[in-house]
Amino acid sequence: MHTAAGVDACLPIRSDMDLVWVRQHVRQAAARLGFGLVDQTKLVTAASELARNTLVHGGGGQMEAAHVTRGATHGLRLTFTDQGPGIPDLDRALTDGYTSGDGLGMGLGGARRLVHDFAVESTPGAGTTVRATSWVAVPRPREEA
């Protein structure tokens, strides 16, 4: 189980410029929590895909970023919500290559692979919520020779 240490930000997603703010906020929050550069990039990429989906397919919405803990491990949970049309076939939407628009069909499935924990709740006609959480990697102790 993990607990939220607090919501760091709640950012609107209503325009392409908001996508820039989401990416910038996620990069800064991940760096503050101690994510390495590769893990920061994975998280920013996932956030970018999910924010774009929120804007393009959900008609806009918001992203909440929260510092979470699981024991002594710190993480960043991103929650994207919209009040759009929802996802009628979630299994199909998570399949690589599936697209309901002009994209490559890597958005949801790709974002899922870039984070540690991923959950989608969607109700046709009522909107979608996606939660993506990544954890700061704890360095393994070096083995003595």
Q: What is the pLDDT of residue 104?
A: 44
Judge whether residue 13 has pLDDT over 70: yes
64-73 per-position pLDDT tens digit? 999 999 998 9
Three-class SS of 27-72:
HHHHHHHCCCHHHHHHHHHHHHHHHHHHHHCCCCEEEEEEEEEECC
On the CB side of 74, how many CA atoms lie within 13 Å of its CA?
12
85-94 per-position pLDDT tens digit? 998 888 887 8
Provide the percentage of residues in the chain whose pLDDT is more than 70.
Answer: 82
Judge whether residue 145 has pLDDT over 60: no
Coil, strand or helix at 109 = helix
Asked whether residue 34 is assigned to any structural domain, the reply reads yes
pTM equals 0.86
Asked whether residue 87 is assigned to any structural domain, the reply reads yes
Q: What is the DSSP string of 69-118?
A: EETTEEEEEEEEEE-SS--S-HHHHTSTT--SSSS-S-HHHHHHHHSSEE
The CATH number of the domain where 14 resides is what? 3.30.565.10
| Count of the separate structural domains present in the chain | 1
Asked whether residue 127 is assigned to any structural domain, the reply reads yes
- For 31, 49, 72, the CA distances from 130, given in Å and listed in that order, are 22, 11, 25
Q: What is the pLDDT of residue 106?
A: 59
Asked whether residue 140 is assigned to any structural domain, the reply reads no
Asked whether residue 145 is assigned to any structural domain, the reply reads no
Structural domain harbouring 103: 3-135
Asked whether residue 141 is assigned to any structural domain, the reply reads no
Judge whether residue 32 has pLDDT over 90: yes
Q: What is the pLDDT of residue 101?
A: 56
Judge whether residue 144 has pLDDT over 60: no
Q: How confident is the model at residue 105 (pLDDT cuts 50, 70, 90)?
A: very low
Q: Are 22 and 47 in contact (CB under 8 A)?
A: yes
Asked whether residue 92 is assigned to any structural domain, the reply reads yes
Asked whether residue 119 is assigned to any structural domain, the reply reads yes
